[in-house]
Amino acid sequence: MSMSRTDLLLLAVAVVWGSSYLAAQTLVLAGGVLAVLALRFAASALTLAPAMAGRRPSRPELRVGALLGVTQATVLVLETYGVSMTSATNAGVLISLTILLTPVLEGAVRRRWLPHRFFAGAAVAVAGVVLLVAGPGLRAPTAGDALMLAAAVVRAAHVTLSGRLTDGRRYDTVTLTWVQMVVGAVLFTLLAAPALPAAVRAFGPGQWLGVLYLAVGCSVFAFLVQLWAIRRTSAARASLLLGTEPVWAVLIGVGVAGERLTPVAVAGIALVLAGTYYGQRVEAGYRSGAVSRRRAWATSSTYPSGR
């Protein structure tokens, strides 16, 4: 079963997000977390603004976009501060739980559960993340771990809501994405207001290029694709594919920053990719079967047996 265009685009988002680690680390050191997030979302909203010409958000689009903007902003705040307060291993393991939490939430909301084989594949992918980030070793639970766990839960809720709130509705993907960015820009600007002027003065050309990359690549492109793809597949499948983000972060770190790839990390990468590949095949087969069953039911209802 070949991967669809939707799958490939979601993998592209995972690659872009994986590449953001180096840029984000440099920017946060120079300007602080909230200031960087404020500039990122403001630049994202401005970048996408020309595409809004001729588009007038409806009230439902404003409500849905605002809610998704709040959940997206919450994930970034929890994740960013959580990473700074715990080990890389704890952070990587906890955020990877999104791969398992999303299908659980989606199943509870839709009252349709994926086969156990999907969860087996997702568990293999999570085990791969454990090996991939196993360098520093697990540490005793901290406040940072609680933040990372909360980030995983909110991210799973965000992905599930994105699919649930837009399912069967003619919402414009560009409009919803732009509203999310405006909401994020307003929230982070308010939170970062005291430190924002100093961060702007401290940034040089290199830092502004980093902000532009985070805005255009990791926000405009990634958020558009994520919302577009979730409306055409399931939240569980999208979360599984986006869960390969740590793989690309490690590979980019090796290629760009000269980091070493250990045998344990190689094994982790293999498990993540294997679990993802198997899980997406199970999900695709289940979804295809569900469509066939609905069509068969519709046909039998339209043409009764005559008994």
> Which of 58-72, 134-148, 195-209, 215-229 is least confident?
134-148
pLDDT at 45 over 60: yes
**pLDDT tier at 297, thresholds 50, 70, 90:** very low
Distances (CA, A) of 7 to 1, 33, 211, 234, 239: 12, 31, 27, 11, 11
Q: Which pLDDT score is estimated for 177? A: 96
Q: Kindly state the average pLDDT of the residues 202-211.
A: 91
pLDDT at 64 over 90: yes
User: pLDDT at position 123, please?
Assistant: 92
d(CA 25, CA 207): 11
Q: How far apart are CA 248 and CA 11, in angstroms?
A: 10
The shares of helix, strand and coil residues in the chain, as percent rounded to the nearest 5, are 80, 0, 20
244 backbone dihedrals φ, ψ, rounded to 5°:
-80, 0
pLDDT over threshold 90, residue 93: no
- pTM comes to 0.81
Contacts of 280 (CB under 8 A, 6+ apart): 3, 7, 121, 237, 240, 241
Most confident segment among 23-27, 187-191, 253-257, 259-263:
187-191
Sign (positive/negative) of CA torsion 246, 252, 253, 254?
positive
- In this prediction, residue 305 carries a pLDDT of 45
The 10s digit of each residue's pLDDT in 236-292 is 999 999 988 888 877 877 777 666 778 888 888 899 889 988 988 898 888 776 545
Among 90-99, 100-109, 256-265, where is mean pLDDT lowest? Answer: 256-265
Asked if pLDDT for residue 106 goes beyond 70, the answer is yes
Q: Pick the more confident residue, 147 or 301.
A: 147
Task: Return the pLDDT at 243.
Answer: 87
Return the number of other C-beta atoms located less than 10 Å from residue 69's C-beta.
25
Q: Are 89 and 139 in contact (CB under 8 A)?
A: yes
| pLDDT given for residue 280 in this prediction | 87
Give the Cα separation of 219 and 196 in Å (integer): 20
Range from 64-78, 158-172, 279-293 carrying the lowest mean pLDDT: 279-293
What mean pLDDT value characterizes the chain?
85
